[in-house]
Chains A and B, each alone.
Chain A
């Protein structure tokens, strides 16, 4: 079913999507978080009338503008790549995910586009309050935009509110509110948005730390740090909480992902949580080798986190691949068998329809319905294909968690020393603050790797594998596109970073123009 040519094409398609998504997230995470910080800064300006807050707002707004532009540039490619490179997915799931993606433009991008101009060019054209309103709407618009996108992504992780229509050979929406208010969507949005708030807060800390180390714009930097630290700290706590909720949702909806991020091959009752570990690179599903070379584990904690109850069974990779009769887990092998029958029956149904043979059509459809649940598995060759890359997912998850624990401590230190007015003397902290933005980005990108790589081989969990979702393009076409966008995004990235660095070097406006 999956030949080498397909694999190579598939890998290039995946690489292209990963490239676009990563570049987009780098800019969008900063944009999303900065938009709220701008709203806070400007609120302080309007409340106090202080010129310092106005300078702070205008400076960060200028950096926001650069990041926002680059996020739009990468975003248009990201969005339309669903059609250009994943056209079969676009067709099969368009009836469902097209809706949140269209809503995102109406309630997110359009609002931002209208109010962005007011926010940037309206300082002298509209009243203070109207300007503040525009800034708040841009912040709200950016979060609404993220919400709708994540509703679509959450549906891909946990497809609800839909049914397969064999006549059209596609999935169709049955219940919009179930999709919109899916607990996975809500927790995923809260987790992703709050992690982007941390990235932006760390960005503000990094730039402000540089000013303090250089002895420039000290009042400006201190005030920026104060607001960013509070915002970052609250966001960190929220990210931790929502991460826990998301992990619980994974346990219920994506047990394979949970098993992989824990390197859990054989399921256990009272399963332990692996805090850190080195995976055995020679370990494969079904063999008897040890999964770890080294590991640190807290007994029983995984069961508790996954089930909200201690002692319960957490399935491992082997249970999900080969089945476990004791715990009534059907293995992927059985599901593949049933899936292949479903695909054959669908084909028979289509043929009978063409031949206008009513009896055979009805019979094929009735039989298909019995096997429909596992249709997606029918596209897989072997049971092991349903295991995502263990190493990448496991390490990304642990990097995310470690950094997720470290980041709030950074905010706490900055907050404490700014409050005590000792931040100027803490050179070590300021130097650490300089690099902390990279830690935020690594944590955030690692989180997305866990979400997306951990879902493999599915584009829609258990329903549609990526091998079927791609467009019918040649490998050369996708390769050429990859290198074209690699070049384009590299130039865009370098230009964006250079401009930002230059603007940071120049610094905020001098007080004379206030």
Chain B
């Protein structure tokens, strides 16, 4: 099946697949968003337990999606993996540490003898909830703003800034996308908790109100950052590849041209934003809890649109602002045709695995998490 594809078709297909995984990760950051909302929405131990146990059943899926995103990039765009991870070193190390903190916090928080105390682990969850998403957003923004590196003839990266990746924090354009994603994840987190917790008892009615409010406030807070990012993206210069020479050059309005040249992406961005708002609007209707599915799908579409804008239509997806011709494109950074084909067959396993995930997610979530369930402190499985 994949053997009949040309190399460039495989490269484009794989950019689509890794973009989809990255976008799904953004949807799954509802876990991080929920973590960062913990101190705001949960005012007592019972509420806290509900929130943490609800998120605790999904955190590993988010974690796995992030690792799958990184691993797929390694397999199909190894030059990007080597350049970005080896160059923007401190940015990635910080992101990874935030996910290490998350990994242990759910499991350790309530366990006796946990060394650091429950509050510390809750703080770790907050750190991951905010900075994990924020720094990932910064990393994604550099797909458009560029990074300061040079590649030699042997593909070795020479990073040109002593902050090794953290310099990306100095660009407000990058920060704007990162903050948009942080507020979006908080919106998704509140929507997920609304859908996953049983609020029928009066005991938790106030938390439900706070969650519904959090949806509106966080989505509202995200809008200015999204607008700034989109306007700057549309009006600024972008990293274009010359179709004649293959060289990278700066083109005014490149990303707007990309969006207009690929109406599918325009539709994705438009429909995605509408769905995000539609899902959030659902939270304003009492007893409606399905908003996460609309906003989740919407955020996936928005991010997918952005990733495709960064990589398709003769665009450098990991541009170098130091040396334009060291910029990475999906054509010069990809694996060989054989590997892309092999990965294509391996990826056929993904829908099967995802179907399993969806089936068992559905089985587990048929009944919402109730106060009774998390109050059974004899059960060792409670987070």
Residue from the list B60, B92, B114, B156 in contact with A472, Cβ < 8 A: B156
Residues of B within 8 A of A471 (CB): 86, 89, 157
Q: Does B205 contact A (CB under 8 A)?
A: no
> Distance (Å) between the CB of B57 and the closest chain A CB?
5
Other-chain contact of B85, A84, A481, A484, A488 (Cβ < 8 Å) = A84
Q: How distant is B79 from chain A, measured CB to nearest CB, in Å?
A: 6
Contact of A105 among B68, B78, B89 (CB under 8 A): B68
Q: How far is the CA of A115 from the CA of B363 in the complex (A)?
A: 11
> What residues of B have a CB within 8 angstroms of the CB of A499 in the complex?
108, 111-115
Stretch of A94-102, A305-313, A314-322, A443-451 on the interface side:
A94-102
Give the docked Cα–Cα distance between A134 and B353 (Å): 13
> Is A483 part of the contact surface with B, judged by Cβ < 8 Å?
no
Which A residue's beta carbon lies closest to that of B105? A69
Q: Contact check, A95 vs B89: say whether CB atoms are below 8 A apart.
A: no
Number of A-B contacts (CB under 8 A): 257
Which one of B63, B99, B104, B156 has the greatest number of beta carbons of chain A within 10 Å? Answer: B104
- Complex: how many Å from CA A495 to CA B115? 5
Does B134 touch A at the CB level, under 8 Å? no
**B349 interfacial by beta-carbon distance below 8 Å:** yes
Q: Does any Cβ of A come within 8 Å of B350's Cβ?
A: yes
In the complex, the answer to whether B156 meets A91 with C-beta atoms within 8 Å is yes
Q: Does B107 lie within 8 Å of A117, measured CB to CB?
A: no
Contact B63 A72 (CB under 8 A): yes
Most chain A beta-carbon neighbours within 10 Å: one of B68, B108, B338: B338
Q: Is the CB of B71 within 8 A of A73?
A: no
Q: Mark A81-111, 1 if CB is under 8 A from B, else 0.
A: 0111111101110111011011111110111
Are B114 and A495 touching (Cβ within 8 A)? yes
Write out the residue numbers on chain B whose beta carbons fall within 8 Å of the beta carbon of A259. Answer: none
Taking CB as reference atom, which chain B residue is nearest A137? B356
Return chain A residues, CB-CB under 8 Å to B155. Answer: 88, 91-92, 168-170
Q: Could you tell me if A66 and B86 are in contact, using CB atoms closer than 8 angstroms?
A: no
Listed stretches A120-128, A264-272, A293-301; interface member: A120-128
CA distance A506 to B75 in the complex (A): 45
In the complex, A506→B82 CA distance in Å?
Answer: 47
Q: Are A69 and B107 in contact (CB under 8 A)?
A: yes
Q: How far is the CA of A107 from the CA of B347 in the complex (A)?
A: 10
- Report which of A101, A113, A165, A350 forms a contact with B71, defined as CB distance below 8 A: A101
A400 to chain B, nearest CB (A): 30
A130's partner among B75, B158, B339, B363 (CB-CB below 8 A) is B363
Q: Could you tell me if A174 and B338 are in contact, using CB atoms closer than 8 angstroms?
A: yes
B106 to chain A: closest CB distance in Å? 8
Instruction: Please give the distance in Å from A51's CB to the nearest CB on chain B.
Output: 14
B78 to chain A, nearest CB (A): 2
Tell me the residues in window 54-95 of chain B with beta carbons closer than 8 Å to chain A beta carbons: 57-58, 60-61, 63-64, 67-68, 70-72, 74-76, 78-79, 81-87, 89-90, 92-93
Question: Is A412 on the interface with B (CB-CB < 8 A)?
Answer: no
CA A236 to CA B381, docked complex, whole Å: 32
Task: Say yes or no: A503 contacts B112, CB within 8 Å.
Answer: yes
A residues less than 8 Å from B356 (CB atoms): 111, 114-115
Cβ-closest chain A residue relative to B100? A73
Please tell me if A438 contacts chain B, counting CB pairs below 8 Å: no
Residues on A with beta carbons closer than 8 Å to the beta carbon of B74 = 82-83, 90, 94, 98, 101-102
Q: Are B339 and A96 in contact (CB under 8 A)?
A: yes
Min C-beta distance of A380 to chain B, whole Å: 17
Q: Are B380 and A118 in contact (CB under 8 A)?
A: no
CB distance from A28 to the nearest CB of B (A): 13
Q: Is B357 an interface residue (CB 8 A)?
A: yes
Task: Tell me the minimal C-beta distance from B382 to chain A in angstroms.
Answer: 9
Chain B at the A interface: mostly helix, strand, loop or mixed?
helix
Looking at the assembled complex, report how far the CB atom of B14 sits from the nearest CB atom of chain A, in whole angstroms.
11
A70 within 8 A of B: yes
- Is B285 interfacial (CB 8 A cutoff)? no
Q: Chain B residues near A99 (CB, 8 Å)? A: 75, 339, 342-343, 346
B61, B93, B116 — most chain A CB neighbours (10 Å)? B93
Residue of B nearest to A127 (CB): B363
Q: Is B336 an interface residue (CB 8 A)?
A: yes
Query: Is B45 engaged at the interface, CB distance under 8 Å to the other chain?
Result: no
Q: Smallest distance from the beta carbon of A90 to chain B beta carbons, Å? A: 4
Q: For the complex, what is the distance from the CA of A506 to the CA of B343, rounded to whole Å?
A: 47
- Asked if A411 is at the interface (CB within 8 A of a chain B CB), the reply is no
**Contact flags (1/0) for A52-81 with B, using CB distance below 8 Å?**
000000110110011001101110110110
Q: Are B367 and A125 in contact (CB under 8 A)?
A: yes
Residues of B within 8 A of A172 (CB): 335-336, 338-339
User: Is B97's CB within 8 Å of the partner chain A?
Assistant: yes
Which parts of A458-514 form the interface with B (CB within 8 Å)?
A: 471-473, 477, 481, 484, 488, 491-492, 494-496, 498-499, 501-503, 506, 509, 513
A435 in contact (CB, < 8 A)? no
Min CB distance A480 to B, Å, is 9
How far is B79's CA from A81's CA once the two chains are assembled, in angstroms? 15
Interface flag for A116 (CB, 8 Å): yes
CB distance from B25 to the nearest CB of A (A): 12
Closest to B112 in A: A502
Q: Does A213 sit within 8 A of B, measured CB to CB? A: no
The answer for the CA separation of A103 and B339 in the assembled complex, in Å, is 12
Set of chain B residues within 8 Å of A165, measured between Cβ atoms? 336
Sorted nearest first, the 6 A-B pairs with minimum C-beta distance are A87-B86, A94-B78, A83-B85, A98-B75, A502-B113, A91-B82
User: Which residues does A use to contact B, with CB under 8 Å?
Assistant: 58-59, 61-62, 65-66, 69-70, 72-74, 76-77, 79-80, 82-88, 90-92, 94-96, 98-99, 101-107, 109-118, 120-126, 130, 134, 165, 168-170, 172-174, 176, 350, 354, 471-473, 477, 481, 484, 488, 491-492, 494-496, 498-499, 501-503, 506, 509, 513
- List 10 A–B pairs whose Cβ atoms lie within 8 Å, in order of A's numbering: A76-B103, A80-B92, A87-B87, A95-B336, A106-B68, A107-B353, A123-B381, A477-B89, A495-B108, A503-B380
Contacts A115-B360, A126-B364 known; 5 new A-B pairs at CB < 8 A: A79-B70, A83-B84, A91-B83, A169-B155, A495-B114
